[in-house]
Amino acid sequence: MELGYRAAVTHWIGVLAFALLFVTGTPQARGEDVVRVAVGVDPVYTPWWVAQEKGFYQKHGIKAEITQFSGGPALADATMAGDTDISSSGTATWMPRIARGSMVVLGTMATSTKAYGMAALSRIKTLEDLRGRKVGTVGGSSTDYLWHLVAKKLDAPDSTLELVSIQPPELIPSLDRGDVDAFFCWEPWPARAVEISGKDKVHIQATSGDVGYLLNFIVAANKKFVEAKPEATVQVLAALRDAIEFQNSNPAEAVRIGAESNKLKPELSSFVLGLYKFSLGQSPDMEAAARTEEAWLRGKERLKGDPIDWSKTIDLQYLNRAMTMK
């Protein structure tokens, strides 16, 4: 009987050991790192959604919690505060948060000369017609800098334009009512303004490239998150790389995901995605462009303290490791 008991115990120990080996060998049991991703209501964030729907986060041992915000400043503030871990937006949006030393720039995920559009009332025929007019801007974002470039085109001081800070969802009704004569914003808001108000009332007066702006859509993360979870940082970048590669190879599927995640018509999602060149890496002129924007912000006294040390702020070690992962 004792031999039978020992045999039974030995059998069940073997079974439990095998089960434990099986469980700990699965990604779920290893404990997937939770990464809180902040995105905006804009198809440019489609790769983050592609990574979720197509399983790229799971492939790299990541569980992503995606939170959608109304615009760049809101998601950047959430990431700076540590309410989210990682996100992407234009360099001017990140600048005040970077200046506080709480952010790490991990790379560039997209570039565009047409990502921003200026929606204007029909009475605005040329940039000259904007002199002395009220214009809409998303305060604290890249749109402030774009209006500076408009003033520069006019060879006039920034005060030539009366900037009104408006959140993205309110830009269209403000323009439609005539509270402002134009607004500069990332797509799809300008295109939607034309769609909603009608081509006879509103038109696209210019794009960001027309006033000399190349958008570098950069990936940035909370510094504390990167320091605490360097492996998760690499893994989420690897998932984003896979998502961008999938998106570039499957444009129709990317359009669908972009439309559904942002509650847009497929044709509008397609239009916005077509404005960007998606590639995870490091845009060669990103640092130079960021320094130019930083100088403008300091001239406006929107940045204080020591100049940003971009050699420390841009840390490509995580990107480099992610690009070699299978």
pLDDT of residue 18: 42
286 DSSP 8-state letter: H
Q: Is the pLDDT of residue 11 over 80?
A: no
Q: From residue 89, give the alpha-carbon distance in Å to each of 41, 218, 264.
A: 12, 6, 20
Mean of pLDDT values over 180-198: 95
Band of pLDDT at residue 300, cut at 50, 70 and 90: confident
Q: Is the pLDDT of residue 141 over 90?
A: no
Burial class (CB in 10 A: 0-12, 13-18, 19+), 316: middle
Q: Is the pLDDT of residue 183 over 50?
A: yes
- Tens-digit pLDDT profile for residues 121-136: 999 999 999 999 999 9
> Model pTM greater than 0.75?
yes
Helices (H), the chain: 2-24, 27-30, 46-53, 56-59, 72-81, 91-99, 142-153, 168-177, 189-197, 223-228, 230-249, 251-262, 266-273, 286-299, 310-313, 317-324
Question: Measuring CA to CA, which residue among 326, 317, 325 is closest to residue 107?
Answer: 317
Question: Measuring CA to CA, which residue among 198, 186, 149, 199 is closest to residue 275?
Answer: 186
pLDDT of residue 274: 96
In the chain, the domains with their CATH numbers are 30-112+215-324 (3.40.190.10), 116-211 (3.40.190.10)
| Host H or E run for residue 304 | none
pLDDT of residue 14: 47
322 DSSP 8-state letter: H
d(CA 180, CA 202): 12
- Tens-digit pLDDT profile for residues 165-175: 999 999 999 99
Mean of pLDDT values over 194-207: 97
- Tens-digit pLDDT profile for residues 222-271: 999 999 999 999 999 999 999 999 999 999 999 999 999 999 999 999 99
- Tens-digit pLDDT profile for residues 17-42: 444 444 444 343 346 899 999 999 99
Mean of pLDDT values over 150-156: 97
DSSP string, 148-169: HHHHHHTTS-GGGSEEEE--HH
Q: Quick check: 310 and 101 in contact, CB under 8 A?
A: no
Q: Name, in order, each residue with C-beta under 8 angstroms of 167's C-beta and a sequence gap of 6 or more.
A: 70, 71, 138
Mean of pLDDT values over 305-309: 90
pLDDT of residue 108: 96
pLDDT of residue 283: 79
pLDDT of residue 6: 46
**Residue type, position 285, single letter:** D
d(CA 216, CA 108): 7
pLDDT of residue 299: 87
